[in-house]
Structure 1
């Protein structure tokens, strides 16, 4: 029932062994989906660019949550794609902003629950979680306006991004991603009036460390920062414990670049799961499962009958139970795509349907809440294949010949001089902290904080209950202790 995939296939996202046809049959372009608009471009200042907050924004103080748009440089994509959306949680007058970068196939809502917990735990802190620019290619309109999401997506009515018409994405590598991220960081800094802690989860942690070592026109990235926070990811072999080495030999890189040049501009790794051949197919299935689990958790699963016989639960289950079956470690999913949540009930209710029983540190309702929104952006549909190449090569964390050939400006790792927090789960068998120690030893990092929770799987830090989330608690302590 369960397949095993290379670490890069699933890092930062959820994937299962489902083999379901019929996703992604729609045509056309999806660069501008309904409900994606937010405020104007951020030019600096607390709350800048909020002009029109995205649907679902709430609050004015510590509970404030809005999405705003940050204008970024030209990337050659469709009109409207030269911007990134940023989820902002917490008071607009905060003195410290924690910017958290999602991992592979991840999006801003990965951090919504963690952001709420951090803001509640640390006075004077705001959390920003940016989507990457490729999120502008996603059609999420099926989750808004009273539409039936299942029919919209599984029956192929949504707008897709045709790879053949997406040659621009061949250039959407780490350099562009870091230029975009710097626009976010500089907006958060507000002309130096606020300090910024930059962090990320999984490959988002790799991105954060790359930012710190990057040369931005002669300015090292770490000079923008007051601290770094890496959550179950990094560089220098951080993921080695999973037994899947990075693909960064010159020959591997040459072959991967040739594939991109040949038109494979989006990373199709998740298509191997069997949920459809398109880049977005797997993401759609999991997003649907989370959406229904949030909006009707105890209702009979609307997706169950669409599953193949081999994977369909033998008894009718609720929407919440179906989501649990897709994300819980107890069903055999690999560590880096699973959480510790619970199990399907042993006995059905009066309606003959079996629900979900929470027994772990991550209640299934929290996973569903993150998935559902208010903006349903936990999954990134169109991950650029070039970004995968560049992040693999960045694992060396040095200005190598190979890095230079790809214009990866990793020139300042040795000068890194800000505090470093590193957290690891059970996913990589200790190599995350080993790698963080190497980063510190080979730089000028003044001090490091290393934390471990072997009771967590890779995705638990994003969704675990507040009282059980070691990552959120220790990260809050780190941020509170910065001077």
Structure 2
């Protein structure tokens, strides 16, 4: 979901500790074993408005029993001739795309959308959101957590593992060639999609499985330069990062910088909790506010919807790359002094709450492999370099790409997402490319913005419609 955490001034000082969340450890008993799928098989959902969450078997990855599968959120008709497969970004999960998927299916006849949950999601305990007291389950430490000391297998879950899993999804979507596939992603999910296209699968370029590529606010070839936090891919940096992973630091801890806790999953849990309460009781007084770390708490009582707004709206100084343009706090409170939320942006807080609430699939991936971060950084050059080969990255087919490309950028990158996409086009055989920009959007707005104000959904639908029309 996020490429790299860009801290603003409000986050400096007093935020290192946050609220430490505790867990019981994977396999410790209690709760469900793994995230449950819809159990309907890769045939998908039936009917234009149907949705299903379906498991797909993938290769062995050395993790616990039940982790050798990915899940796909399928939206739209099962008899669609085109499947748009979407990969979430860093810390992102399948529910990032549910609202966008519904809008795409409504705009483009004959299309189904598959949103991917990586195998890491099997390690997430979302069972507390099925009861009446999720705040107690999670903030009081009753959930099942994955401890780094018991997750050595995570050190091997890099880009090769992720793309081999993604290929299982793409091949299932193709249905033995009966359907065409457009592969896309958001943020580092866009990087993953482009890496898939250039990847060598036993002598065959990944792009040959696809009818098109869609890059949403991410990519390669310097796409993240404008964010102020470019990739870390020097040989020295890579050696240091690999040594840290070998020493047991297998989780990427970027989101701990938000200040909502020091565990790998702390921030993600807080965000889903905020969404859950904002979705189920938006006008009720916030259940979470008194437990929010003081440095991040507004000095007056707010509703559940308003608390979520302070978490996700760009106006509150949170990291730019995990925020949206939603609205503002009400100027005055109700009879008890509780302030609500006023929507006046492109992304209503109710849509964010609906997506964040889940419970399954979720919006946030709890455990992001540090090795995957290394590999995606190194993939930015989009070439078969010595460093890439030393990491087992088979980026051998970038020059052979011969399918259309769509690229969309927000204010997040200050123009470098499209610049990077243009470099990919110039160095390949891509027949045509569509480049779109909306400076009025933040990094997450394309995922949750109101249908009639979402430039990304509208222009992506036009691109997919063109791909479909040209295939007839």
TM-score if structure 1 supplies the norm length?
0.92
Moved over 3 A (4+): 15-23, 30-35, 39-42
- C-alpha deviation, 1:27, in angstroms: 2.0
- C-alpha deviation, 1:149, in angstroms: 0.6
- C-alpha deviation, 1:291, in angstroms: 0.8
Deviations 1:58-104 (A, max 9, x none): x8411101100000000000000000011000001000000000000
Task: Tell me what 2:51 maps to.
Answer: 65
Q: Which residue of the other structure, out of 286, 295, 314, is the alignment partner of 1:329?
A: 314
CA contact (8 A) 1:33 1:138 kept: no
- C-alpha deviation, 1:162, in angstroms: 1.0
CA contact (8 A) 2:324 2:441 kept: yes
- C-alpha deviation, 1:30, in angstroms: 6.3
In terms of mean alpha carbon deviation, does 247-256 or 331-340 score higher? 331-340
Deviations 1:392-437 (A, max 9, x none): 0000000000000000000000000000000000111100001101
Write the distance in 2 (CA, Å) between the matches of 1:268 and 1:223.
35
SS in 1 for 2:47: coil
Write the distance in 1 (CA, Å) between the matches of 2:389 and 2:193.
19
Task: Tell me what 1:232 maps to.
Answer: 217
Q: Which residue of the other structure, out of 124, 140, 145, is the alignment partner of 1:138?
A: 124
Q: How does 1:139-158 map to 2 (within 5 A)?
A: 139-144=125-130, 146-158=131-143
SS in 1 for 2:411: coil
Q: How does 1:345-364 map to 2 (within 5 A)?
A: 345-364=330-349
Task: Tell me what 1:8 maps to.
Answer: 4
Q: Which residue of the other structure, out of 11, 14, 28, is the alignment partner of 2:25?
A: 28
Task: From the superposition, tell whether residues 154 and 30 of structure 1 become closer, same or farther in structure 2 (CA, over 3 Å).
Answer: farther
Q: How does 1:386-397 map to 2 (within 5 A)?
A: 386-397=371-382
Q: Are positions 1:124 and 2:110 aligned together?
A: yes
Task: From the superposition, tell whether residues 375 and 41 of structure 1 become closer, same or farther in structure 2 (CA, over 3 Å).
Answer: closer
CA contact (8 A) 1:22 1:155 kept: no
Deviations 1:359-380 (A, max 9, x none): 0000000000001125251000
SS in 2 for 1:191: coil
Write the distance in 2 (CA, Å) between the matches of 1:147 and 1:68.
26
CA contact (8 A) 2:198 2:207 kept: yes
Q: How many residues align?
A: 461
SS in 2 for 1:271: helix
CA contact (8 A) 1:427 1:457 kept: yes
Task: From the superposition, tell whether residues 425 and 102 of structure 1 become closer, same or farther in structure 2 (CA, over 3 Å).
Answer: same
Q: How does 1:31-430 map to 2 (within 5 A)?
A: 33=32, 36-40=35-39, 42=41, 46-47=43-44, 60-144=46-130, 146-373=131-358, 375-430=360-415
SS in 1 for 2:5: helix
Write the distance in 1 (CA, Å) between the matches of 2:355 and 2:309.
14
CA contact (8 A) 1:363 1:464 kept: yes
Deviations 1:303-356 (A, max 9, x none): 111123333212110000000001101112232111000000001123421100
Task: Tell me what 1:442 maps to.
Answer: 427
Task: Tell me what 1:3 maps to.
Answer: none
Task: From the superposition, tell whether residues 108 and 30 of structure 1 become closer, same or farther in structure 2 (CA, over 3 Å).
Answer: farther
SS in 2 for 1:310: helix
CA contact (8 A) 1:294 1:369 kept: yes
Task: From the superposition, tell whether residues 116 and 368 of structure 1 become closer, same or farther in structure 2 (CA, over 3 Å).
Answer: same
- C-alpha deviation, 1:268, in angstroms: 1.2
In terms of mean alpha carbon deviation, does 158-167 or 18-27 score higher? 18-27
- C-alpha deviation, 1:10, in angstroms: 6.5
- C-alpha deviation, 1:270, in angstroms: 1.4
Write the distance in 2 (CA, Å) between the matches of 1:85 and 1:427.
29
Write the distance in 1 (CA, Å) between the matches of 2:290 and 2:377.
39
Task: From the superposition, tell whether residues 478 and 7 of structure 1 become closer, same or farther in structure 2 (CA, over 3 Å).
Answer: closer
SS in 1 for 2:255: helix
- C-alpha deviation, 1:161, in angstroms: 0.3
Task: From the superposition, tell whether residues 288 and 193 of structure 1 become closer, same or farther in structure 2 (CA, over 3 Å).
Answer: same
Deviations 1:266-316 (A, max 9, x none): 111212322222110111111111111001100000111112333321211
Task: Tell me what 1:53 maps to.
Answer: none
CA contact (8 A) 2:3 2:89 kept: no
Task: From the superposition, tell whether residues 290 and 30 of structure 1 become closer, same or farther in structure 2 (CA, over 3 Å).
Answer: farther
TM-score if structure 2 supplies the norm length?
0.94
SS in 2 for 1:330: helix
Q: Which residue of the other structure, out of 448, 462, 471, is the alignment partner of 2:447?
A: 462
SS in 2 for 1:9: coil
Structure 1 gaps, min length 5: 1-5, 48-58
Write the distance in 2 (CA, Å) between the matches of 1:177 and 1:395.
16
Deviations 1:198-239 (A, max 9, x none): 000000000000000000011100000000000000000001
Task: Tell me what 2:456 maps to.
Answer: 471
Write the distance in 2 (CA, Å) between the matches of 1:417 and 1:341.
39
SS in 1 for 2:293: coil
Write the distance in 1 (CA, Å) between the matches of 2:310 and 2:19.
21
RMSD: 1.9
